[in-house]
Amino acid sequence: MLSWDNPGDRVAIAQMNSELQHAQLELLSAHCASHQLRLRFTVDDLARFGRRDILRKSLEAAASLNAYYSSIEAKIPQAAEAVESASLTEGQVREAVNLLASYLREQSEYYMRVAVPLSNLQKAAMWPYFSAVVLDRARVVELKGQRVPNPPFYERARALGITNLPEWTHMDSLTLGDVILFNEKLSERALFHGLVHVIQSELLGIERYSELFIRGFLATKHHFSVPLEAHAFSLESKFGANPSDRFSVEDRVRLWVHQGRY
Ligand SMILES: [Zn+2]
């Protein structure tokens, strides 16, 4: 079974969610096609005049899909259900966005004092995925096991019924504006991942970035399925799979911003 605590699994979880989304879109298109049939023809006519072989194949596909997804539904953990039932008012969402944005700003300023620029070796490994401007501006802090505590507003979120918030102490890295914190040591992949968030928060601005994170979390119930996170994991996985296949992360992120995919 996959575990969120295992860094290798996090990429697999992000890929799984991208395939799940693909399957869901295909199902939606099957649903639309069936809806057209339903609008145009009666059930009696379809049963009498529909081609038997095609009807049978359609029935089998629908029944096996129903059995498959029901078996998944039966295993959805309680924690996810809890987020489902926690519906926040628009005012509470705005409050959460403000809390996250000011926390990111405060913490960024705090850690900036001890953060260091990337070494030339690190810059070389991250170029040309990231422009020289971004690589010069980014700062890193290695906490070497000291670990960042959860933000203070987690208490309030839990009181509102949101239970499966990501544990900050379990993450490889945390990005606060231009500063990337590493709970343990800095690895190339974790640095790449953190830099994707640097670009995202730069292009979107801290406010919008915080808003998309919170709305994405409330919609998807898991922080790794939030589009901002899923994109970072999928780009990190491309980098890890084939480091010679160079691409511009900024172009990819800009495209997602323009297409409204975050
Ligand atoms: Zn991330």
Q: How far is the CA of 14 from the centre of ligand 1 (A)?
A: 11
Does 87 lie in the same domain as 68? no
Residue 173, phi then psi, degrees to nearest 5: -145, 160
Q: What is the mean pLDDT of residues 235-242?
A: 87
Does 102 lie in the same domain as 48? no
**Residue 112 near residue 184, CB atoms below 8 Å:** no
Q: How far is the CA of 27 from the centre of ligand 1 (A)?
A: 29
Q: What is the pLDDT of residues 35-90, one digit of tens each?
A: 778 888 889 999 999 999 999 999 999 999 999 998 888 888 765 555 555 678 99
Does 200 lie in the same domain as 88? yes
Does 214 lie in the same domain as 143? yes
What does the pLDDT read at residue 262?
A: 92
Domain assignment present for residue 147? The answer is yes
Does 220 lie in the same domain as 150? yes
Domain assignment present for residue 1? The answer is no
Q: Which domain holds residue 31?
A: 7-77
Q: How far is the CA of 78 from the centre of ligand 1 (A)?
A: 24
Protein residues with C-beta less than 5 angstroms from the ion ligand 1: 229, 232
Q: What is the pLDDT of residues 6-50, one digit of tens each?
A: 777 877 887 888 788 778 777 877 876 887 788 888 899 999 999
Q: How far is the CA of 198 from the centre of ligand 1 (A)?
A: 10
Does 115 lie in the same domain as 59? no
Q: How far is the CA of 241 from the centre of ligand 1 (A)?
A: 18
User: Whole-number mean pLDDT of the chain?
Assistant: 88
Q: Which of 44, 77, 110 is the last residue of a domain?
A: 77
Q: How far is the CA of 5 from the centre of ligand 1 (A)?
A: 13
**Numbers of helices and strands, H then E, in the chain:** 12, 4
CA dihedral (62, 67, 68, 73) positive or negative: positive
Does 70 lie in the same domain as 86? no
Q: Which of 51, 77, 103 is the last residue of a domain?
A: 77
pTM of the model: 0.71
Helix (H, G, I), strand (E, B) or coil at 4: coil
Does 93 lie in the same domain as 221? yes
Domain assignment present for residue 2? The answer is no
Q: How far is the CA of 16 from the centre of ligand 1 (A)?
A: 16
Q: How far is the CA of 2 from the centre of ligand 1 (A)?
A: 18
Q: Which residue's structure tokens are 């359609």?
A: 58
Does 184 lie in the same domain as 128? yes
Q: For residues 134 and 32, which has the higher predicted lDDT (pLDDT)?
A: 134
Tell me the β-bridge partners of 139: 117, 179
Does 28 lie in the same domain as 141? no
CA distance to 6, 182, 222, 233, 249, per residue, from 2 (Å): 8, 23, 14, 15, 27
Does 174 lie in the same domain as 59? no
Does 242 lie in the same domain as 202? yes
Q: Which of 77, 104, 123 is the last residue of a domain?
A: 77
Number of domains in the chain: 2
Domain assignment present for residue 26? The answer is yes
Domain assignment present for residue 228? The answer is yes
Domain assignment present for residue 188? The answer is yes
